[in-house]
């Protein structure tokens, strides 16, 4: 996408067709980024339009505030959504996130934007039914879509070349969720050390795998065992390379655990102890142990249990979703290859 591409269209239908023809969208229609609409987002940010946030890989296109605003307009963002988009872009551009790897890997991970704190209700974000498919909320869909269009248009992250993702990810259209204000624990960004009322966390992960409570009683240990089993499947990147992972609890399940004396750290510790696999199950006979496993993993003993993350705090926990019945989910990470969670404050 050229930095100052100008397209003239007489009708909205003509714009849509021109956007498809010029490769400015991945298939869905997009809004025209008119001068007035882009200026409105830039003004809402209070930033200079030429401020450079960074280069978007793999192409290395310049993500100025104005360029990000243009893609946010195309996604349908309102001015009040733009602060979240900017914070998400800045988080993804941190070195530890490895954005280049995330968008070009063969693995089906994609940056998930998690909004938490009072901003969720201020922006009227969905945080109950169908939260991972937008929940019907303007903000969820537009923010997630803005991230995708920026990576598509400025980063050049198109399938085939250079994106090598084998199966794809439904979140590549839009992957933004809101944490429930009904959580019994501090917000996710606060638990990660960001001292602000509202914040965002970006984490590269797979789409959610649901975990039901079939066969489990009310014991937190037994209920979390359901979740731990889904976290430690044999073919998961986390089972072999550790890294980070995301678990999701509905508010009623989180309250149940809290009433049983489990805070966030206790849930993380319990999952870390249970979500493990035997080395003998992970490695076929004759396959050498992985060099990246920590020294405390006894790689010579096939009965050694390897956890899915190196530390309990690498299991990120989010509370969201409907409260019709208690439910859990796992969004597996990319493993120890990048896409690590980055949290930032929202002003």
- Residue by residue, pLDDT tens for the chain (347 residues) are 445 667 778 788 999 899 999 999 999 999 999 999 999 999 999 999 999 999 999 999 999 999 999 999 999 999 999 999 999 999 999 999 999 999 999 999 999 999 999 999 999 999 999 999 999 999 999 999 999 999 999 999 999 989 999 999 999 999 999 999 999 999 999 999 999 999 999 999 999 999 999 999 999 999 999 999 999 999 999 999 999 999 999 999 999 999 999 999 999 999 999 999 999 999 999 999 999 999 999 999 999 999 999 999 999 999 999 999 999 999 999 999 999 999 999 97
Give the helix/strand (H/E) hosting 114. Answer: strand 110-116
Q: Where does residue 128 rank: exposed (0-12), middle (13-18), buried (19+ CB within 10 A)?
A: middle
pTM: 0.95
Residue 4, number of CB atoms within 10 A of its CB:
7
What single string gives the DSSP state of each residue in 223-258?
HHHHHHHHHT-TT-HHHHH---EEEEE-HHHHHHHH
CB 53 within 8 A of CB 90: yes
- What whole-number distance in Å separates Cα of residue 47 and Cα of residue 42? 7
The dihedral formed by the CA atoms of 172, 174, 175 and 180, expressed in degrees to the nearest 10: -160
Total H helices, total E strands in the chain: 13, 12
**Domain residue ranges in the chain:** 1-204, 207-331
pLDDT of res. 347: 77
* Residue with the two structure tokens 């870390």: 272
pLDDT of res. 135: 97
pLDDT of res. 4: 60
- What whole-number distance in Å separates Cα of residue 226 and Cα of residue 219? 11
- What whole-number distance in Å separates Cα of residue 8 and Cα of residue 19? 11
Q: What backbone phi and psi angles, to 5 degrees, belong to 192?
A: -95, 15
CB 319 within 8 A of CB 254: yes
The number of angstroms, rounded, from the C-alpha of 88 to the middle of its chain's C-alpha atoms is: 10
Contacts of 271 (CB under 8 A, 6+ apart): 224, 227, 228, 231, 247, 312, 315
The number of angstroms, rounded, from the C-alpha of 132 to the middle of its chain's C-alpha atoms is: 10
pLDDT of res. 2: 47
CB 148 within 8 A of CB 174: yes
Q: Phi/psi class of residue 185: alpha, beta or left (left: φ > 0; alpha: ψ in -120 to 50)?
A: beta
């Amino acid at each position: 996408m050229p930095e100052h591409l100008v397209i003239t269209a007489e009708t909205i239908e003509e714009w849509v067709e021109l956007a498809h023809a010029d490769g400015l969208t991945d298939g869905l229609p997009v809004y025209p980024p008119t001068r007035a609409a882009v200026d409105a987002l830039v003004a809402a940010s209070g930033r200079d339009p030429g401020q450079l946030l960074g280069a978007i890989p793999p192409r290395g296109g310049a993500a100025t505030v104005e360029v990000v605003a243009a893609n946010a307009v195309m996604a349908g963002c309102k001015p009040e959504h733009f602060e979240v988009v900017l914070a998400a872009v800045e988080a993804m551009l941190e070195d530890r996130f490895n954005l280049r790897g995330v968008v070009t890997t063969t693995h089906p991970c994609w940056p998930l934007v998690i909004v938490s704190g009072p901003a969720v209700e201020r922006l009227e974000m969905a945080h109950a039914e169908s939260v991972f498919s937008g929940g019907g909320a303007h903000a969820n869909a537009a923010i997630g879509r803005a991230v995708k269009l920026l990576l598509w248009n400025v980063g050049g992250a198109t399938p085939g070349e250079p994106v090598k993702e084998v199966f794809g990810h439904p979140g590549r259209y839009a992957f933004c969720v809101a944490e429930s204000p009904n959580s019994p624990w501090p917000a996710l960004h606060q638990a990660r050390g960001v001292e602000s009322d509202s914040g965002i966390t970006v984490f590269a992960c797979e789409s959610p795998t649901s975990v039901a409570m079939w066969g489990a009683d009310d014991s937190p240990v037994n209920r979390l065992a359901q979740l731990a089993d889904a976290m430690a499947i044999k073919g998961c990147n986390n089972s072999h390379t550790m890294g980070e992972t995301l678990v999701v609890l509905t508010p009623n399940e989180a309250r149940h655990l809290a009433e049983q004396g489990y805070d966030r750290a206790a849930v993380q510790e319990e999952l870390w102890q249970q979500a493990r696999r035997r080395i003998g199950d992970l490695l076929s006979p004759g396959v050498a142990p992985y060099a990246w496993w920590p020294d405390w993993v006894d790689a010579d003993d096939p009965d050694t249990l390897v956890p899915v993350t190196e530390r309990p705090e690498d299991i990120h926990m989010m509370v969201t979703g409907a409260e019709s019945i208690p439910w859990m989910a796992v969004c597996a990470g990319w493993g120890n290859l990048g896409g690590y969670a980055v949290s930032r404050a929202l002003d």
